[in-house]
Amino acid sequence: MRRRFERAFNLSLPAFGIGDVVIALLLIALLYLGTRLAINAPQSVTGPDISLAPTALPWYAFLSTGRMAIAYLLSLLFTLVYGYAAARNRTARLFMLPLLDVLQSVPILSFLPIVLLSLTAILPQRFATELAAVILIVTSQAWNMTYSFYQSMTTIPTELREASSIFRFNPWLRFKTLELPFAAIGLIWNSMMSWAGGWFFLMASEIFTVGDRDFRLPGLGSYLQTAANQNNIPAILMGLGTLIVVIVLLDQLVWRPILVYADKYKVEMASGETAPESWFYDLLSHSVVAQTFSRRVWQPLTEKIDRALGRLFKASTPEQTGVIAEGRPSIAGIVIGLVLLAGLAYAALQALSLLITLPLSDYGRILQGVLATLLRVVISLAIAVMWTIPVGVLIGSNRRAADVLQPIIQVVASIPATALFPVIVLALISVTGSLNVPAIILMLLGTQWYVLFNVIAGTSAIPQDLRYTTALLQVKGWARWRTLILPALFPYLITGMITAGGGAWNASIVAEYIKFGGETYAATGVGALIAEATARGNFPLLLASTLALILTVVTINRTLWRRLYKIAEDRFKME
């Protein structure tokens, strides 16, 4: 066991495979293609005026919530398809996990100008701006949900898989009755975190400038940003009040009822002492209209879907036995892959020709910036873990505490920290004299919630019979944490720290380079370089800084987080 542990934590350089090479070439090619399209974008773009009148807030709230809902549905679809394929097929996993590492590490705010400018070069301006906003929100929502679903898929107890094999469930029935229910609690809490993270990036997606191009969309994000730029305190308070109302309504009408419904999917042999409650869920369960809709519309529809998908997957497959499919590529697939690889290599060479134009001094700044940002990320993650584990365990294990703290945490986590950045920065700079400490705090504000929500999910998923067993054996204090709580939390904690780490690197772009009141505040870091390159339209520096950030995050994922995931899969299944 000791040797196995030492091998797992061997921090030698990761073994990058062909999948990593293809993914790297694909990313470089996409960034280069987007850069070339961005050069051809309109030189002057003007967005609509944002009204700060209180009467505009309901409409802005509706528009922002609509964008968030569309982005969430796309993120959920991506999560279920991508997470399932990565967990069930080893060959696909060789490419899909490196790609997920890259996608999760792509700095959203540095990629946004390329996406916006490239889309406006080929699409109408308003549609391109709306599409870019939804894409940005998706990239802030999808990754933690996908990691959570993948983690759940790989830690399903063996006896449950064997039971599905004995009953000869086809892939659809196994997904519906085993895999999705088992992943439900973690997926729901990460969905709540995705909405909170979506609010964070909504402000950046609804009002964005690149040089003389002013991209803006009417919504709560643009309302809050405009009010902050004008230092209009009453408007900021009204915007935040409206956002809090929207968050509370979503908590009461959507998330809390879903949590109550999903509580029955906990893997346990004894029921909990106090089940979660929701007045709206109780209202719906006793509603004649809802019962009629369920009986006459929803149940017949789901039965038809079950029969259709059952016929589609009626043939027995290796997956039915719980064996992960290997998958063998065909000759045609190999030929197509080689052609695609050649095209990617050509695009990568073109991108390298663009990177060659960058002075060596800028590469030195990039290396220095990566190390400085890495230090801030480590500090922010350490602070996040120290307070989120005890608070998350309290919320996940104490129903009364959850009833009080859960809505408060959702509200606080969903308030866009970018709306408060100028005030926080000015206050902290006056005390510290630099942006170094404020940058860490701002990164922490945008990332700590990923860890907290996953800790809550992990604690909520602990079977009640295991709690009873530890109580019966009088296992208390540190012994209870060591034998029950921390092992149960381990897979969820790794998921939270992966996504929090990626979020911290992304948040560095807005935390290390801030403009307010005609003044520019910057700290040494790769995030500041990306923001500077975006503001100046320096595409070679933007491309080089973005690739350096991605390479750093992917290397950390492969050397540390992937190995911890493997330990969670092998040793910490709930079985």
The model's pLDDT over 423-443, given as tens digits with 9 standing for 90+, comes to 666 677 767 667 778 888 888
Cα separation, 129 vs 362, whole angstroms: 31
The dihedral through the CA atoms of 430, 436, 440, 446 has a sign that is positive
Weakest mean pLDDT among 128-142, 272-286, 297-311, 352-366: 272-286
Average pLDDT over residues 115-144: 77
Cα separation, 564 vs 572, whole angstroms: 11
pLDDT at 435: 76
Average pLDDT over residues 111-120: 65
pLDDT at 6: 43
Average pLDDT over residues 475-487: 85
pLDDT of 317 higher than 60? no
Output the CA–CA distances (angstroms, integers) from residue 439 to 109, 431, 433, 522, in the order listed: 16, 14, 12, 9
- Residue of 46 and 232 predicted with greater confidence: 232
pLDDT at 76: 93
Average pLDDT value over all residues in the chain: 76
pLDDT of 472 higher than 80? yes
pTM: 0.72
pLDDT at 383: 93
Q: Residue 14: pLDDT band by 50, 70, 90 thresholds?
A: very low
Contacting residues for 416 by C-beta, under 8 A, at least 6 apart: 199, 200, 202, 203, 221, 224, 243
Weakest mean pLDDT among 22-26, 335-339, 465-469: 22-26
pLDDT at 379: 93
pLDDT at 113: 63
Average pLDDT over residues 275-283: 76
Weakest mean pLDDT among 50-59, 380-389, 422-431: 422-431
User: For the chain, what percent of residues have pLDDT higher than 90?
Assistant: 7
**H/E run at residue 210:** strand 207-210
Q: Residue 326: pLDDT band by 50, 70, 90 thresholds?
A: very low
Q: Is 511 exposed, middle or buried (0-12, 13-18, 19+ CB in 10 A)?
A: buried
Task: Please answer whether residues 98 and 86 qualify as being in contact, where contact means their C-beta atoms are separated by less than 8 angstroms.
Answer: no
Q: Residue 80: pLDDT band by 50, 70, 90 thresholds?
A: very high
pLDDT of 324 higher than 50? no
Q: Three-state SS for 300?
A: helix
Q: Which of 260-264, 265-269, 370-374 is the most confident on average?
A: 370-374
What domains does the chain contain, in order, with CATH numbers? 56-268+359-571 (1.10.3720.10)
pLDDT at 32: 62
- Residue of 530 and 109 predicted with greater confidence: 530
What token pair was written down for 321? 């036995």
Q: Residue 77: pLDDT band by 50, 70, 90 thresholds?
A: very high
Average pLDDT over residues 398-426: 72
Cα separation, 237 vs 215, whole angstroms: 24
Q: What is the pLDDT of residues 174-218, one digit of tens each?
A: 888 888 888 888 888 888 888 877 877 777 677 766 555 666 788
The dihedral through the CA atoms of 413, 552, 136, 535 has a sign that is positive
pLDDT at 53: 87
pLDDT at 355: 77
Q: Residue 368: pLDDT band by 50, 70, 90 thresholds?
A: very high
Using alpha carbons only, how large is the chain's radius of gyration in Å? Answer: 24
pLDDT at 273: 53
pLDDT at 217: 83
